[in-house]
Amino acid sequence: MLRSNSRPRLRLAAAGLVLCGGLAAATPALAANAAPAARLAPASSSANTSTFVVGDTDAVDTLNPFNGFTGQDYEVYGLIYDNLMDYGQLDYTGTPRLATSWSHSKDGLTWTYHIRHGVKWSDGVPLTAADVAYTFQRNIKPNSIELADNEAYVGEITSAVATGKYTVVMKVRHYTPVMNRLIVPILPKHIWEHVSDKHLSSFANDNPVGSGPFTVSSFSSNQSITLKANPHYWGGKPGISTLVFQRFDNQTAMKEALLNGSIDFAEGLTPALWQSLKGQQGVTTINAPSGNFDELAFNNGAATVSGTPIGNGNPALTDVNVRHAISYAINTPEIVKKVWLGTATPGTSVIPPIYTQFHYTPPASATYHYDPAKAEAILTADGWKMGPNGIRQKNGKKLTLRFAVRNQSPEAVQEAPYIEGWLKAVGIGVTPTSMSDSQLTADIGNGQYDMFIWGWGVEPNPDFQMSVFTCGQRSTGTSPSYTPGWSDSFYCNPAYDKLYHQQQGLDGAARAAVIKKMEQMLYTDDPYSVLYYWNDTQAYRSDLFTGFAPQPDKSNGLYLYQEVSWWSYRCIRPAGSSPSLTDHNIGCQHELGAVTKAAAAGVNGGLIGGIAAAVVVLAAGAWLLARRRRTATADERE
């Protein structure tokens, strides 16, 4: 549910149209270009190799999980706090974390969760069902920051009650498979009950108390954060003792820091920099498909408040034929080749193919492809005749569109001239304007745009992404004062809304069929053109570290920033070391270089993979793929 900036990932803040990119990008850079002092490459037995440093162009903005919006914020929250579940490493199926098992009543309206025994908060206080119930009760308060932040997960929950020391019962309005994958940070009641709603937004939480595998050692907002391994973590001590996230403004500086050993992992490199690292001694490059896509968005012009249109979008874009012509005029494979250097694939629907259960692939005969002659024919048939200077006209009005170009995205800057040229070639005038993410965010919310390129980071659960196109996401309130929703196209189709509500009560294949029908509707209506799915281009010092647990594909999956999963951090260890027995208590049986499955099974009965088999789901039901982040990624909408 993250808005993607094409590089640093951000998660959408839930209140209003924070198309999650502009705010982070608008934050003044601190000493981001100053990399940590170079470390000499130590022997694998050296204690220095237990410090793992991640470089990124994004940074942690706040340690308050209700105020965070960057992808980096949520990367850290998942290490400080536990959720009830994880997304399975290999297939995104629900996997126990704090909840060891759960079940629901026959009607699907009552859910019972069994909480892990013996877990302690980082301050030594025992974690119980009371903490879990408190967390969810706080998250479901109507019209609250908490609800806005986690509504995709808790929106159907009406109550959460601790019925025993380790048992929580939740009630829901309607059956929803989201209850099988509640990726919500569990908070310590004894800390947060003293933070009132009034003071929630100003609560810094600089010394967070959590139950996760790491604790905070030091934090410099928007620059760096250092985490220490929690030696008492219920899932086993992580394989590294210290974890550092270091922000860089300059990706070239980040690349050099990787080469000189100042950092051990580089996240979201530009395609050119990533290509330049291939073959470098001691460095392994990763080109992993992710849940991200970029789109050319159109102002569909359907949004009004009290009958008054919002914004000043060009009325031509309310005509689906004009949108179709644009989609046929764009040579996406050329963008993938020239701009992304092969680290992306042409796009179709709004759920990326990494989520195989939900991805819709249109038939070849109906797929938009580069065909300028067809684009011209569509426009001519629609009454747009070629006018002076090669710009089409209709009813005395020229077909000239404003094109917002995000100057904080290197890829968008490179793509803009291509798109401008292709559209002008079929008779569509283009007026490009360079602007910051924050300015574009404001313009989108006010409907003051025609076209722009941005993207989304889609979570395994497609609910949020599909909700973006519902009529209710256009705006709320009354004119002249209103609150923008998540919609960035102002698309509205009551038939689509009906399908959206239908899928919320389904699971498995039945839900997937409805999701794909919704994607087909969007593809036909063309509220915006999905350009490509871009990979997360990562690189790491393979001479110093091993033990990553890629997701979802062990041979070509994400090593870190795994779309709201955190498998690798619990498994990374110095190169040359062997997996410890405790590694396999925390789900590392699929890590690189893991011991055999048979050997891992002999450790003890606490394997996360083994516990998964104990999950009881009484209704029809296969797990379905789920979730929210990388926000959209690399600057998820930002």
Please give the structure tokens belonging to residue 315: 């009325």
* β-bridge pairing 400-406 and 429-435: parallel
Question: CB-based contacts of 296: which residues, under 8 Å, 6+ apart?
Answer: 326, 330, 419, 451, 452, 453, 528, 529, 531
Cα–Cα nearest to 459, from 8, 6, 9:
9
Question: CB-based contacts of 587: which residues, under 8 Å, 6+ apart?
Answer: 86, 89, 95, 235, 549, 567, 570, 571, 607, 608, 609
- The total number of residues written for the chain in this structure: 638
CA distance 625 to 379: 40
β-partners of residue 278 are none
CA angle 138, 638, 242 (to 5 degrees): 75
The single-letter code of the amino acid at 285 is T
So what's the pLDDT on residue 602?
34
So what's the pLDDT on residue 49?
57
So what's the pLDDT on residue 475?
61
CA distance 428 to 419: 11
Within the chain, which residues score under 70 in pLDDT? 1-49, 303-307, 475-484, 580-587, 589, 593-638
Cβ-count burial of 269 within 10 angstroms (0-12 exposed, 13-18 middle, 19+ buried)?
buried
β-partners of residue 344 are 534
Residue with tokens 């993979």: 609
Q: Which long-range contacts (CB under 8 A, 24 or more apart) does 120-128 make?
A: 120/211, 120/232, 120/234, 121/188, 121/209, 121/210, 121/211, 122/209, 122/210, 122/211, 122/215, 122/230, 123/188, 123/209, 125/188, 125/190, 125/209, 127/98, 127/186, 127/188, 127/211, 128/162, 128/165, 128/166
So what's the pLDDT on residue 632?
33
Q: Residue 158: CA atoms inside 13 Å, Cβ hemisphere, count?
A: 8
pTM for the model stands at: 0.81
Cα–Cα nearest to 133, from 97, 107, 157:
157
Backbone phi, then psi, for 500, in 5-degree steps? -60, -45
Please give the structure tokens belonging to residue 86: 């994880």
Residue with tokens 């839930």: 14
Buried b vs exposed e over 464-483: b needs ≥16 C-beta within 10 Å? Answer: bbbbbbbbebbbeeeeeebe
3-state secondary structure of 555: coil
Domains within the chain, CATH numbers bracketed: 2-80+203-290+538-612 (3.40.190.10), 106-189 (3.90.76.10), 294-534 (3.10.105.10)
So what's the pLDDT on residue 278?
94
- Whether the Cβ atoms of residue 47 and residue 150 lie closer than 8 Å to each other: no
Please give the structure tokens belonging to residue 168: 């929580």
**Ramachandran area for residue 94 (φ above 0: left; ψ -120 to 50: alpha; else beta):** beta
So what's the pLDDT on residue 314?
95
So what's the pLDDT on residue 615?
35
